[in-house]
Amino acid sequence: MNKVKLTELGIKESRDLLNRKEISAEELTNAYIQNIKESSKLNAFIEKTFDKALMQASEADKIIGTDSQKSLCGIPLGIKDLFCCKNVKTQAASNILDSFIPPYESTVTDKLWNEQAVMLGKLNMDEFAMGSSNETSAYGPAINPWRMSNSDEPLTPGGSSGGSSAAVAANLCAGATGTDTGGSIRQPASFTGTVGLKPTYGRCSRWGIIAFASSFDQAGPITKNVTDSAIMLKAMSGFDPKDSTSAKMEVPDYEQHLEKDIRGLRIGLAREYSLKKGNPAAEQKWEQAISLLKNMGAEFVEVSLPHTEFALPTYYVLAPAEASSNLARYDGVRYGRRATLDTNDSILELYEKTRSEGFGIEVKRRILIGTYVLSSGYYDAYYKRAQKVRSLIKNDFDEVFNKVDLILTPTTPTPAFPLGSKGTQDPVEMYMNDIFTVPANLAGLPAISLPVGLDDFELPLGVQLIGNNWQEPLLLNAAFNLENALAFESKPKNWWADG
């Protein structure tokens, strides 16, 4: 099998070939390394760990076929730069963490290496995961491998996990980790024709993941298909005594649940989540997804989540509040970068200069908003109020999940958009991307995005399924059935390979 074909495979398919010894982990890893080397135009990887990858691959080759073999043995993965990896540069794509090398490994990545996965490197993202287009990265944006049929204009791969989605869509890794605070796994997945899963809050440990908004942040996989999502999720999940919000619950074998039929499944269509008119292909794909699910025996129920319109404003009070507190630790003393000081500068000037130089504009905006809504004069008016609305949003979902098993929504209001086209004058324009994804984060619920087809300009479109707490098995089961029925096979045309 040639190199190109190898990297087109997903995790499960690669695992099967490795198990049958038709390929070696080293061969597979080298094929991905080659692709990464030829894809600098996509700016997906911001730190490469090829030596480590080849060492892990050669270890994997010794283990495959023995009793010590684990679930991801020899599978090459990319890791979002938000996950601390021991002795590997980890910057959250921010200048303030310039050259920071953690002396510890995040629990999620530690679990992946324990399952014998291979680490190809760190993936580009929005600075501290704040953004929806990867444009706030200190490294410049990752580029979507997909382009519109009538233009060569570079498009965003989504954000904040834009390096992860671009890398998976362009076959630069078999799967990738992402994190999702308001949509950062699902929106990039939807923009790149990949599958992105945000688990229930508490499913994956947050320990060692650089914190953005701690009551929202969850790690999850971005993969080429639903089966791979199930495989990676299992490896990433589980209780961790080092994260007090991680849940002490068994991790199901998600793969076992995929193939069950979905007859009698009740799926809610929420009135408040309607697609904007004007993209006929998007409407048609949406209708098609519904009718395929109906054909498989699912029942659709119209439901209402009346507080949905407050989700985005609530998120943009609470997430910056938590961010402002989490980011207070970057003071030029303990981590990463320190500004050059004049001889007479005070400690306060050290903080000020380091923080002004180190943080980008969007991160500064969030810190300012967050500090404002937490300040004593405004705490009740904004922060406390937003917490109350958060409860109302959660209650809406609780009500609806008395009537249905899952909720189906579009993942994003639009497909991928050109770089530089949104949010330059008004940040709210960028925030609107998360309108369908943020509610699940406010309520802590699991949700998955999967591709449903292409729009009129041949760009991928995604749909989202939202489940009740801990319903990942059902979510994956329904997504797997829909994926099969849709048979979405389209791939981006390869314009980016050098040489």
Q: According to CB under 6 A, which one of 28, 92, 130, 211 is a site residue for ligand GLN?
A: 130
- As measured in angstroms, the least distance from the Cβ of 396 to ligand GLN is 20
Q: According to CB under 6 A, which one of 115, 127, 322, 434 is a site residue for ligand GLN?
A: 434
Residue 452: which residues within 8 A CB-CB, separation 6 or more?
285, 286, 288, 289, 461, 462, 463, 486, 488
Residue 66: which residues within 8 A CB-CB, separation 6 or more?
none
Q: According to CB under 6 A, which one of 35, 181, 411, 464 is a site residue for ligand GLN?
A: 181
- As measured in angstroms, the least distance from the Cβ of 166 to ligand GLN is 16
Nearest to 359 by CA among 387, 312, 323: 323
Residue 408: which residues within 8 A CB-CB, separation 6 or more?
267, 268, 269, 289, 290, 293, 463, 464, 465
State how far the Cα of 466 lies from the Cα of 444, in Å rounded to an integer: 11
- As measured in angstroms, the least distance from the Cβ of 366 to ligand GLN is 8
Which tokens hold the place of 252? 């199901």
> Is the preceding peptide bond at 356 cis, omega within 30 degrees of 0?
no
Judged by beta carbon, residue 316 or residue 488, the one nearer ligand GLN is 316
Considering only residues 185 through 224, tell me which ones interact with ligand GLN, judged by CB under 6 A: 212
**How buried is residue 214: exposed, middle or buried, by Cβ count under 10 Å (0-12/13-18/19+)?**
middle
Choose the binding region for ligand GLN from 126-134, 351-359, 414-422, 490-498 (rule: CB under 6 A): 126-134
311 binds ligand GLN (CB under 6 A): no
State how far the Cα of 21 lies from the Cα of 27, in Å rounded to an integer: 11
Catalytic residue annotation: 80, 160, 184
State how far the Cα of 52 lies from the Cα of 195, in Å rounded to an integer: 27
Q: According to CB under 6 A, which one of 134, 184, 326, 409 is a site residue for ligand GLN?
A: 184
| H helical segments located in 89-214 | 107-114, 162-169, 186-192
State how far the Cα of 156 lies from the Cα of 170, in Å rounded to an integer: 14
Choose the binding region for ligand GLN from 32-40, 174-182, 280-288, 326-334 (rule: CB under 6 A): 174-182
- As measured in angstroms, the least distance from the Cβ of 319 to ligand GLN is 6
* Count of residues interacting with ligand GLN (CB under 6 A): 13
Q: According to CB under 6 A, which one of 10, 102, 182, 220 is a site residue for ligand GLN?
A: 182
Q: According to CB under 6 A, which one of 183, 332, 444, 446 is a site residue for ligand GLN?
A: 183
| H helical segments located in 401-494 | 427-431, 438-443, 472-486
Judged by beta carbon, residue 71 or residue 433, the one nearer ligand GLN is 433
State how far the Cα of 355 lies from the Cα of 400, in Å rounded to an integer: 44
State how far the Cα of 340 lies from the Cα of 180, in Å rounded to an integer: 34
Choose the binding region for ligand GLN from 129-137, 241-249, 368-376, 449-457 (rule: CB under 6 A): 129-137
Considering only residues 27 through 46, tell me which ones interact with ligand GLN, judged by CB under 6 A: none
445 binds ligand GLN (CB under 6 A): no
165 binds ligand GLN (CB under 6 A): no
- As measured in angstroms, the least distance from the Cβ of 131 to ligand GLN is 5
Residue 59, φ and ψ in degrees, nearest 5: -60, -45
Judged by beta carbon, residue 32 or residue 212, the one nearer ligand GLN is 212
The count of other CB atoms within 10 Å of the CB of residue 344 is: 6
State how far the Cα of 293 lies from the Cα of 485, in Å rounded to an integer: 8
Q: According to CB under 6 A, which one of 94, 132, 171, 227 is a site residue for ligand GLN?
A: 132
Q: Which residue has the tokens 């990676």?
A: 232
360 binds ligand GLN (CB under 6 A): no
Q: According to CB under 6 A, which one of 115, 180, 322, 405 is a site residue for ligand GLN?
A: 180
Judged by beta carbon, residue 133 or residue 223, the one nearer ligand GLN is 133
Which tokens hold the place of 496? 């980016």
Q: According to CB under 6 A, which one of 230, 267, 319, 386 is a site residue for ligand GLN?
A: 319
Q: According to CB under 6 A, which one of 129, 204, 230, 232 is a site residue for ligand GLN?
A: 129
State how far the Cα of 123 lies from the Cα of 119, in Å rounded to an integer: 11
Sign of CA dihedral 457, 35, 42, 126: positive
State how far the Cα of 123 lies from the Cα of 131, in Å rounded to an integer: 15
- As measured in angstroms, the least distance from the Cβ of 186 to ligand GLN is 9
Q: According to CB under 6 A, which one of 49, 56, 91, 160 is a site residue for ligand GLN?
A: 160
Judged by beta carbon, residue 202 or residue 268, the one nearer ligand GLN is 202
Judged by beta carbon, residue 183 or residue 492, the one nearer ligand GLN is 183
Residues that bind ligand GLN (CB under 6 A): 129-132, 160, 180-184, 212, 319, 434
